[in-house]
Amino acid sequence: MPVTPLPPIPPPPSVKGSGGSTTAATPPAAPTGSSAPPALDPRVAGRVTPGAVPGTDPGPRLPAAEIPGPPGWPALPARDAPNFTDAKPVHLTPGTKIYRVFDGSSNPAGSYWALALPASEESWRSGNAVLDSWNAGTQYVEYTVPPGDGLHVWQGGTSGQGLKDDGDPNHVLTGGEQQIWMPRNTIPKGDLTPQPTPWSGGGTGGST
């Protein structure tokens, strides 16, 4: 008697992509405990950080030890000292302008400031060694030290940062720009007006 052939194996189910095209269904996720690499922050996946250069050594930095200040100055905390190549207590006199780049999820009155507003994302990330996953850099604030006693801060060179935590072990941000540190909320938030950074839709970069 004739042999009835087996039916063909059906193709895998399909799903609609965001553009309307048909694509194969996504395979199931790897089970917990597998060797699959961790998912990257969506801000850093698939791109080289602007301003990064090839390398694996971010360069020298201060040790993770608290640096006491002179009378009237806060101590530079151990967790922040390694973000500097050198640091010294500085008195910002009334009339001095300082700038802080941040994003909507961070504090506009945070600890790290600069004496100039960078003109581009590349110069900001490179000179200030800011990883994509730390700060989207979409906004900035400008502050003019008011009349009175001024501000007692720490100032010094920015240490470099490797990009391993952003999934890129082969590039670094070299740092080198002067940065300012002060305790969070030293400047009242009510005195700050966020504006878009030059690379995110408005404003003008440049030194003061």
Give 43-64 pLDDT, tens digit per residue: 555 678 999 999 999 999 999 9
The structural domains of the chain, with segments of one domain joined by +, span: 53-200
**111 C-beta neighbours (distance < 10 Å), count:** 19
**29 C-beta neighbours (distance < 10 Å), count:** 8
Is the distance from CB of 91 to CB of 70 less than 8 angstroms?
Answer: no
Give 5-16 pLDDT, tens digit per residue: 434 434 444 333
| Residue 90: strand pairing partners | 153
- Length of the chain equals 208
Give 98-150 pLDDT, tens digit per residue: 999 999 889 999 999 999 999 999 999 999 999 999 999 999 999 999 999 99
Give 162-198 pLDDT, tens digit per residue: 999 888 999 999 999 999 999 999 999 999 999 999 9
CA 37 – CA 28 distance, rounded (Å): 15
Best CA proximity match to 63, nearest among 86, 40, 42: 86
Give exposure, 148-166, as e/b (b: 16+ Cβ within 10 Å).
Answer: eeebbbbbbbbbbbbbeeb
Is the distance from CB of 197 to CB of 101 less than 8 angstroms?
Answer: yes
Q: β-strand 112-113 against 161-162: which pairing, if any? A: unpaired
Is the distance from CB of 167 to CB of 44 less than 8 angstroms?
Answer: yes
